[in-house]
Amino acid sequence: MSSGAKVVSAYVAQTDKDVLPTEGWKVLPNITNGLNNATTLTDSEMLNGTRVKTQGVVTSGEITGDLSAELAYGVYDDFLAAAFWNDWTVGGELTIGDTRKMFAVTKDFADIAAFYAFKGVHVNTLSIEITTDGIVNITFGLMGLGYETQKTVSYSAGAAATIVGAKASGLSVGDILHNGTAIGVCVEAFSFELDNQSEIQKCLGSNMYGGNIHAMIANASGSMTIAFSEKAYDILELQRTGGVMSIEVPIEFEDGTGYTIELPRVQISGDIPSPTGNELVTAEVTYTAVDESPVLTRITA
């Protein structure tokens, strides 16, 4: 039997989706690593002279899964860059681009000697969730192009340890800006999502998982829960004209490092609140980034 506490994941940058690197591996801290190999068994319709079903054939496969974690400074910067399909600038900024990043990711059940390796892994989606009373959570939706498994030794044996520093929570959020000035209203929750709407291109041949992954139109969106007020009223009324606004959310760690999520132009939607007599009145505002890329900035101490 295996213990969940013994499961270890690791990753390394990959240039050839078919070749697993032998060095450069780093331990990948996570809450859960949901990468999985799923195959499609196509039924045979052949008649064999009896009413017993004829054996089917595996005709395709899929490598997908979510990697969820608690946001810690620097630990997931490689995956953040992959989500934006870009490189960090010298000034520490990420915007949506066209630079492909892919990884090999391992998932080891060392206590029962079961070792898995997922190849050509791309980040399709990114989600950041901030609440008032929880740790900031980050989730990467992954897609891959290859898979190996064995029961002898880890593919990432000797992976370098990853030091996880201070984590962030709702208390770590600095002044939220709306159109460049403090929003001036209580924000109870904020989320940011980036969906590359990636598609796997499958070709005739032996690779059941596909030959390539292509990013399509990037959809950056999210939501925030705010106390209903004059400011919330003005924000909600923007949807009547399709007007735009900007949002900036800083996440600050104890050592002075941090990240800032900047959304230069968003359009919003949301309903007029319908509270009961015993509820604080809040507005659920959903936003979609338009015209300009979101900017994720890495702040050094």
The answer to whether 58 touches 208, Cβ cutoff 8 Å, is yes
201, 239, 264, 296, 301 from 71: Cα distances, Å: 32, 32, 23, 14, 17
Return contacts of 268-271, CB within 8 angstroms, 24+ apart: 268/235, 268/236, 268/238, 268/239, 269/239, 270/235, 270/236, 270/239
pLDDT of residue 166: 83
Summarize pLDDT for 113-160 with one digit per residue, the tens: 899 999 999 999 999 999 999 999 999 999 999 999 999 999 999 999
pLDDT of residue 6: 81
Summarize pLDDT for 149-172 with one digit per residue, the tens: 999 999 999 999 998 988 899 999
What is the SS3 assignment for 112? helix
Angle at the Cα of 102 from the Cα atoms of 265 and 248, rounded to 5 degrees: 20
pLDDT of residue 15: 93
Mean pLDDT of the residues in the chain: 93
Percent of the chain with pLDDT over 90: 77
Residue 125: which of 210, 65, 62 has the closest Cα?
65
* Structure-block tokens of residue 233: 């009223």
Q: Quick check: 277 pLDDT over 90?
A: no
Given pLDDT bands bounded at 50, 70 and 90, which one contains residue 54?
confident
| pTM, rounded to two decimals | 0.94
Residues 6+ apart with CB under 8 A from 279: none
**Maximum mean pLDDT: which of 5-9, 40-44, 208-212, 289-293:** 289-293
- What does the alpha-carbon distance between residue 301 and residue 299 come to, in Å, rounded to a whole number? 7
Given pLDDT bands bounded at 50, 70 and 90, which one contains residue 224?
very high
Q: Quick check: 266 pLDDT over 90?
A: yes
pLDDT of residue 199: 94
The answer to whether 185 touches 229, Cβ cutoff 8 Å, is yes
Side-chain half-sphere exposure of 83, counting CA atoms within 13 A: 27
Given pLDDT bands bounded at 50, 70 and 90, which one contains residue 53?
confident
